[in-house]
Structure 1
Amino acid sequence: MTGLAESYGADFRGALPFGDRPALIVVDAVTGYVDPAAPIYAGGEHALPVIARLLGVARQRQIPVIYTVVSYRADGADGGLFWRKLPALRAFVEGSPFARIPDQIAPRADELVLTKHYASAFFGTTLATDLAARRIDTLVITGFSTSGCIRATALDALQNGYAPFVVSDGCGDRHPAPHEANLFDLQAKYAEVVTADQAAALMAGKA
């Protein structure tokens, strides 16, 4: 990122507060992104222990946990132009083993799992109303991929009035360049980008 930071002046250095009622959202942390055999593989294995750690903190502090998964009909009719643009989404046809959440970060029975068809966890789902019903004000965001569903979810969180805190080492992408560039831009404009250590400390301070 040499030279990039210098092009962003003081007006890109605002900060968002970590609210009193956070939720942890695990975006599309499914086998397809961590299994090299999957056509949509994103090399995300490193993020699984991070997500598992943050799940432990959230559950201990009784902070709501929400998951998203992607699932499509076999004909892709519910995927629209996204399905047409990205053939790799066929890895997420309903019933595919690539669409399941790995056991080490599996949801509990009392945790919400939302199915989505597009990048943002908000688009076409009940996420906004689910968060409002719980009076959530902050989202701790993990999962895959940084340049796609993480970015889209963070942006929509901000636009829906929820402070997004993106966990840098709890996300992943297919190449370091889009990962780092999107984290940089999210921090500059739309979100707070934090490490797992920082996210854990912030969540641990909330009952």
Structure 2
Amino acid sequence: MKNKFKTILTSCLILISMITMNAQQQKTEHTALLIIDVQNDYFPGGKMTLEKSVQAAENTRRILEYFRNNHLPVIHIQHISTNDGATFFLPGTEGTKINHLVLPREDEKVIVKHFPNSFRETDLLGYLQSKKIKNLVITGMMTDVCVESTTRAAFDFGFTNTIIGDATATRNRELNGEVIKAEEVQRSFLAGISALGNLYARVINTDELLK
């Protein structure tokens, strides 16, 4: 009887393990991590410091490690400013380099862009299609500029998007002479992009993704 019980228990544990592995595989199938503009100018001492940029980058680092450990595709987006009057991400400067917390590995794709939308005049769409990517996990900076414009464009191209809210960051804005705090800007844009039943993107935090 004891041996029979052990056999049944072992079989149950194996079944549970297989179900868990299958669920994890389905969770990440055809999924890539998109890290947008986590560059030095956005950090303390940079030319366009964001609120909580270090915290956002630390969370991005955790997510990056998860994708690397699970051998999932990672794409780094790097902005180089070429427009007249640009004051940050200037070519050849330290501020334009990807921050040390999320430095790309040699086997990870790096795409340089010159516009907020990471798809505009880049090979991002073609690369994702070549890898049969259907789902994007999006982190980066700034929430209300490059992250938002890239996410909306990705939706138009048919991708299913998940933004990791606490792995994004922005800064104070001004409207009609009134300062809008970064926290309010952050919450408003994340709320807007996930409106109508997560139309453009589902918004979760780092711990939710990694659990």
What TM-score comes out, normalization by structure 2 length? 0.77
Equivalent-residue separation in structure 1 for 2:153 and 2:94 (angstroms): 29
Matches within 5 A, 1:185-200: 185-188=192-195, 189-200=199-210
Which one scores higher on RCO, CA 8 angstroms, separation ≥ 6? 1
Deviations 1:150-195 (A, max 9, x none): 1011101111111110000000010111111000001114110011
TM superposition outliers: structure 1 runs of 4+ over 3 Å:
none
- Tell me the CA shift for residue 18 of structure 1: 6.0
In the alignment, structure 1 residue 144 sits paired with structure 2 residue 141: yes
Matched residues, number: 172
Letter in 2 for 1:191: A
* Equivalence for 1:180: 187
Q: 3-state DSSP class of the match of 1:156? A: helix
Unpaired runs of 5+ in structure 2?
A: 1-25, 172-181
Which of 105, 108, 116 matches 2:105? Answer: 108
In the alignment, structure 1 residue 162 sits paired with structure 2 residue 165: no
Equivalent-residue separation in structure 1 for 2:69 and 2:109 (angstroms): 17
What TM-score comes out, normalization by structure 1 length? 0.79
In the alignment, structure 1 residue 95 sits paired with structure 2 residue 92: yes
Which of 33, 54, 79 matches 1:24? Answer: 33
Q: Which has the larger radius of gyration?
A: 2
Identity within the alignment, %: 26
The answer to whether the 8 Å contact 1:19/1:137 transfers is no
Which of 123, 127, 135 matches 2:124? Answer: 127
Unpaired runs of 5+ in structure 1?
A: 1-16, 202-207
